[in-house]
Amino acid sequence: MTSFSGTIAVFDSGVGGLSVLQHIRAELPTARLIYVADSAHVPYGDKSPVYIEARSLLLSRFLIEQGAEAIVIACNTATAAAAGGLRRHYSLPIIGMEPAVKPAVAATKTGVVGVLATIGTLESARFAALLEKYAGNVKIVTQGCPRLVEIVERGDLLGAEARQLIERYTAPLLASGADTLILGCTHYPFLAPLIREVVGAEITLVDTGLAVARELKRRIDLELPQPTDLDAMPPLGDERFYTSSEPTQAVRIMSKLWATGVTVEQLPVVYR
């Protein structure tokens, strides 16, 4: 286990990246974690790449000021729009997201993989490159999912509207023969129990949070200094949560998704 007691920062367009933060906490129990939900600007999926990159640069500047030693972009859309720019600006490890095309292709038995994602992710050059690299002879069918992000932002994970939208979005993928569905947005794992109810137990659901946490751990092992006394395990790390929106609502939603009560601070005005 990596006994890293430094600071890892994670940001997303909203609360969805908490699904990635959960995996990071499991992989790096002694790290200090900072999470920013940019919920005043959610969703990123309908914003321009220029807008998303500007927000990502601003949030990263804030996180580095808080002591971040590595940054995880816990958003597929922001990764596509901003990862390159962030890596040009900053020398610290920048870990991005991408839809899990490779493991989904390996998992399918019917030769058809469905992708649930935001429009921004599906239209990105990064996603097109993933398909070219990994799809091979597997048929990839895609479905943009307007409003699912907003439903998770409200914490309405089992409601009638969520079920109706999931039924609508998954139906054409299943009709195409997909037996594997990629959850191509970090918000969507929080809807996985409902998606499972709708599509049935025989459909494989794939999300990338664990793979991202493991890549982060690998980069830390390679690039960031570790304790020299392996017997001296640092204490368990803590978490700090920020939002660019109103914190009262954020406390309610983020506590629900994190499965324990959290304190959420509002970002300073210059970063909102």
- The residues annotated as belonging to the active site are 75, 185
Task: Tell me which residue of 5, 2, 127, 24 sits closest to 72, measured CA to CA.
Answer: 24
Q: Cβ(187)–Cβ(41) under 8 Å?
A: no
Q: Cβ(112)–Cβ(135) under 8 Å?
A: no
Tokens 């990629």 found at: 182
